[in-house]
Amino acid sequence: MRFVVVAGLAACQLDECRLREWALMEQHPEAVDERTSRRMRNVRRSGSDAELRLRRELHRSGLRYQVDFRGLPGSPDVAFTRAKIAVFVDGCFWHRCPVHGSQPKTNEIWWRRKLDANVERDRRKDAELEGLGWLPVHVWEHEDPAEAASLIYELWLTRRDSESW
Ligand SMILES: [Zn+2]
């Protein structure tokens, strides 16, 4: 594999995991225009904020969980090991939210492939999780964290005693 540092992205606040995925891509845009670069910075920042807000709400409702659980397909952002619930907080840009998903006009083909690959990988990881008896749950970064947390709490109640670990 060839590591490529894409111009304009190295200084971004992308989390290192996604930056690595990015860098590993064989094909990459020669450059990213400033507007796209700015949007990605904003998306990533709000993405991780969304994750922190959700975690805070989950914690407030009394749930305890593992963060960035590496032992599972997709390394879920939040994992409930007893209930086997794997939660991902998906950025609207990176995971093609139907409401806010957009595609940069610069390097359009590359972006389409990249974002399609993200969505495809999400589905594949979900299938792998289900194969292991886990329930994958995806929360959009634009969703209300309190609502999402209460939904997850309901799921947790129904699943916490269903399986032993
Ligand atoms: Zn969205």
Residue type, 122: D
What per-residue confidence (pLDDT) applies to 102?
A: 87
What per-residue confidence (pLDDT) applies to 5?
A: 36
Ligand 1 centroid from CA 90, angstroms: 9
For the segment 92-119, what is each residue's pLDDT rounded down to a tens digit? 999 999 999 888 999 999 999 999 999 9
Contact 45, 21 (CB under 8 A): no
pLDDT band at 161 (very low <50, low <70, confident <90, very high): confident
Ligand 1 centroid from CA 158, angstroms: 28
Ligand 1 centroid from CA 152, angstroms: 19
Ligand 1 centroid from CA 114, angstroms: 18
Higher pLDDT: 20 or 67? It is: 67
Q: Buried b vs exposed e over 85-124: b needs ≥16 C-beta within 10 Å?
A: bbbbbbbbbbbbbeeeeeebebbeebbeebbeebeeebee
Fill in the DSSP letter of residue 68: S
Q: Is residue 27's pLDDT more than 50?
A: no
Residues of the chain above pLDDT 70, percent: 69
Fill in the DSSP letter of residue 9: T
Q: Is residue 3's pLDDT more than 90?
A: no
Mean of pLDDT values over 49-69: 95
Domain ranges of the chain: 46-159
The domain 46-159 is placed in CATH, from the list 3.40.50.1950, 3.30.830.10, 3.40.960.10, 3.50.50.60, at 3.40.960.10
Higher pLDDT: 6 or 148? It is: 148
Ligand 1 centroid from CA 49, angstroms: 14
